[in-house]
Structure 1
Amino acid sequence: MKQSLSTQEAQRVASTHIGVVGGGQLGLMLGEAAQQMGFPGLVVLDPTPQSPASAVAEQLVGSLKDPVALQQLAARVDILTYEIEHINTEALSALQKQGYTLYPAPSLLAIIQNKYRQKEFLSQRGIPVAPFLSIDTPADLEIAIERWGFPLVLKAKKDAYDGRGNARINSRDDIEAAFQKLGDRELYVEQCLDLEKELGVMVARNVRGEIATHPVVEMIHARDICHIVLAPAPIDPAFQQEVQEIARRTIADLEGVGIFGIEFFLDKQGKIWLNEIAPRPHNLGHYTIEACETSQFEQHLRAVTDLSLGSTAMRYPAAVMINILGERNGPADPRWSKPYDAERVFVHLYGKRETKIDRKMGHITVVGDNLQDVYEQAKEARAALSI
């Protein structure tokens, strides 16, 4: 929700034009936050005409990796940011060298885009990550098997998200299929941890180095997609504190500016492991729009424009976010089988004209006093919607 600004901050907001590389649902919600805060308007770059963000922002139609299109976007704005990480870091670095302001920095993005390089960066700084090994030859996989046994996860180093780029290896019988799935991509392998829960946290850092974390949440995945978020995570407060401390240290080490979604594992021995970082707003933080004093989208805008960071306190004791994932292929046609309580149930449809199986079409956030009750209400609301 909108936080008050000082007179100086309000003047900065009113005079700052922001460009976003990517015009999907994250760009849409960034645009909505920018309108509420009083920014003069967002300009987004996206290859799909009438992208979701175009409902609240001016859109340039073009490839996210096209240096010419990126230059055109940068020339229109004061600050450039992005809502997707699979973009052209070389072109962004060139823009930065020309004097354009860009957050998070292209050098940080280059680390995060390559998941193996990300693991190396974190491991070298003492951040707990699952044991990993680069797979440069078939013999390297044998080293991993000898070292850790099964199960293992074979992963693509680049261009992997929502489980696309992962292949689980439970035994030798799975090895051939795993390599076939991931083709000739650059690969690494991770030891599988015995998981109790998957956790996540949004952490923001502004230009002057102030850091703020939202509450730690539990993530429940469906087909490797973050499907349900429980806030706050039903875990021991000591784990909440540990995850937030690791998140703050990680973003400080990266010298990140903006908001970051960080995914963690809690194993059955009670150990916390950092899984991966997204240098942008994240699905795990959608609940913050209604449930927290400052949403992840407002916080990102505050961070990249070097405003003071907003309060991350929850406005309700409990919140649950459930993704609206496509269940068929064809034109989108949202329909409700029964009404919902608009005071406690908040529905966000992203305006995508075509639905596809597992495509993120929207999300529902439910708030209340008891996490289990809210969870049941969220599942009921989702079941009442077809799309």
Structure 2
Amino acid sequence: MPVIYPGQTIGIIGNDQRAYMLALKAKEMGYRVAAIVTPQMQNTSFARLIDSQIDGEFNDYQTLVQLGEVSQVLTYTNELLDETVLEQLAQHYYLPQGSNVLSVTQDRYLEKVFLSDLNINIPPYATVVDVDDIQDAIDSIGYPCILKPIQKGYGKQYQRFIQQPSDLENIEAALELGTYILESWIPDAQELSVMVVKTEDGECVTLPVIENEFEDHRLKMSLVPARINQDVATEINRLAHLIGEKLDYTGVFGVEFFLTPAMNIYVKRIMPTPHATGDVLTHTLNFSQYEYHLKAICQLAVGPSRLNNAGMTLGIQEAQRSLIQTQMKIKPDWYFNLHNVTTNQQIGSVTATGQAIQPLIDNYEAADLY
């Protein structure tokens, strides 16, 4: 495929913060942006940024065709799109990410099989379809464990944490979605991630390892460089390269890891798009994950990453609005990213940078943000 130069149009399939940030960077680089605008996206920051708006829904093929007709390259930020629709789209329009990766990442079982075939360490698991399977699986992998639908995309209300036999009471009611995965819970694990850039010719570039903290299934904090030793960082980069080599994909993707106190590394999951955990790199790296992604899908030169300073990013919730507004008046060296991506949804982040991590943590704690 030819190189996509600034002045041409990038079609973005998605309506989340990643789509918005990707569109911002594309505009900054001189590209035009086209996107599908659903009714929920009207009058949002994202909608106002778009040069060519296509009305419709993401999984409607004819709507996607309209987007393809006005774009020189297509990209998606929603990892739960219909793979078969995207496969059909890729036959007629340039979609560098492809659709094959979604068959791996949308299904927890297929994702684990993919990783196991690469001899990559993953948490022990079993497939479950009825109550008897749960008990058999627990006999094998033990407590604690977590029950998850095999298909990703369902909310946390469809997951069940099982810590002891009494938690199995009325467990049959939790199996309404069919097949599940029962997975060992990894206690006291440090959560890490790495974003990987894969080019059209198969070159993989890993970005610095990120340390993450989640709260109630939601990303609370990301910091870089991760507080790990060099041996762990080297192994994580090796695993990320191995996964990247085997994925049929072009662009930025992410891999999440568990690191136990005994220094055992488990792969948690693969993320087939830029991801919120990578936003901490925006003000700490030579190029953000979004610029790397655009370079890869447009076939521009992609070079090595360079970490310029330490950084820590906190997610902003609606309840923190007044606190954040106060900090905006007194913190001239913090980076604030506050916007409405979709209606009735306030998403944002704040990033602080410096020479070391601990002073950044101390400053957030002093501001009652962390």
Normalised TM-score (structure 1): 0.87
Change (3 A) 1:246 1:164: farther
Given that residues 340 and 346 in structure 2 are in contact (C-alpha distance below 8 angstroms), is that contact kept between their aligned partners in structure 1?
no
Q: Does residue 1:95 correspond to 2:89, yes or no?
A: yes
CA displacement 1:6-34 (0-9 Å, x = unmatched):
xxx9x742254211111221111101111
Change (3 A) 1:104 1:12: closer
Partner of 1:101, secondary structure, is: coil
TM-superposed CA distance for 1:157, in Å, is: 1.6
Q: Does residue 1:43 correspond to 2:34, yes or no?
A: yes
Partner of 2:6, secondary structure, is: helix
Among candidates 316, 319, 325, match of residue 317 of structure 2 = 325
Distance 1:327 1:256 in 2: 38
- For 1:367, the aligned partner's letter is T
Change (3 A) 1:340 1:287: farther
Partner of 1:290, secondary structure, is: coil
TM-superposed CA distance for 1:266, in Å, is: 0.3
User: 1:192: which partner in 2?
Assistant: 185
Write the mapping of 1:234-245 to structure 2, written as runs, cut at 5 A: 234-245=227-238
Given that residues 24 and 52 in structure 1 are in contact (C-alpha distance below 8 angstroms), is that contact kept between their aligned partners in structure 2?
no
TM-superposed CA distance for 1:87, in Å, is: 1.1
Among candidates 51, 63, 85, match of residue 79 of structure 2 = 85
Change (3 A) 1:114 1:32: same
Q: Does residue 1:366 correspond to 2:352, yes or no?
A: yes
Distance 2:206 2:62 in 1: 36
Given that residues 7 and 30 in structure 2 are in contact (C-alpha distance below 8 angstroms), is that contact kept between their aligned partners in structure 1?
no
Change (3 A) 1:130 1:227: same
Distance 2:109 2:313 in 1: 30
Give aligned-pair identity as a percent. Answer: 25
Change (3 A) 1:360 1:139: farther
User: 1:68: which partner in 2?
Assistant: 62
User: 2:331: which partner in 1?
Assistant: 341
Distance 2:72 2:352 in 1: 36
Runs of 4+ in structure 1 deviating by more than 4 angstroms, as ranges, are 161-165, 176-179, 332-335, 352-355, 379-382
CA displacement 1:275-329 (0-9 Å, x = unmatched):
011111111100111111010000111111122224421121x10000002339x
Distance 1:378 1:162 in 2: 29
CA displacement 1:49-74 (0-9 Å, x = unmatched):
23442232233232221122112112
Change (3 A) 1:175 1:26: same
Write the mapping of 1:220-369 to structure 2, written as runs, cut at 5 A: 220-316=213-309, 318-327=310-319, 336-338=325-327, 339-342=329-332, 344-352=333-341, 361-369=347-355
Change (3 A) 1:309 1:144: same
Partner of 2:315, secondary structure, is: strand
CA displacement 1:198-243 (0-9 Å, x = unmatched):
1111111010111111111110111111110111111111111111
Change (3 A) 1:12 1:63: closer
Distance 2:203 2:294 in 1: 14
Q: Does residue 1:153 correspond to 2:146, yes or no?
A: yes
- For 1:370, the aligned partner's letter is A
User: 1:32: which partner in 2?
Assistant: 24
TM-superposed CA distance for 1:181, in Å, is: 4.7
- For 1:341, the aligned partner's letter is K
**Tell me, which stretches of 5 or more residues in structure 2 are unaligned?**
none
Distance 2:263 2:62 in 1: 49
Distance 1:335 1:118 in 2: 38
Given that residues 365 and 378 in structure 1 are in contact (C-alpha distance below 8 angstroms), is that contact kept between their aligned partners in structure 2?
no
Partner of 1:221, secondary structure, is: strand
Given that residues 262 and 275 in structure 1 are in contact (C-alpha distance below 8 angstroms), is that contact kept between their aligned partners in structure 2?
yes
Q: Does residue 1:211 correspond to 2:197, yes or no?
A: no
Distance 2:44 2:175 in 1: 30
Size of the aligned set, in residue pairs, is: 365
User: 1:4: which partner in 2?
Assistant: none
Among candidates 133, 143, 158, match of residue 140 of structure 1 = 133
**Tell me, which stretches of 5 or more residues in structure 1 are unaligned?**
1-8
Change (3 A) 1:109 1:38: same
Distance 1:292 1:340 in 2: 25
Distance 1:282 1:54 in 2: 20
Distance 1:164 1:61 in 2: 32
- Point out which structure has higher relative CO (alpha carbons under 8 A, 6+ apart): 2
Distance 1:292 1:324 in 2: 22
Distance 1:178 1:310 in 2: 51
Given that residues 294 and 310 in structure 1 are in contact (C-alpha distance below 8 angstroms), is that contact kept between their aligned partners in structure 2?
no
Q: Does residue 1:55 correspond to 2:48, yes or no?
A: yes
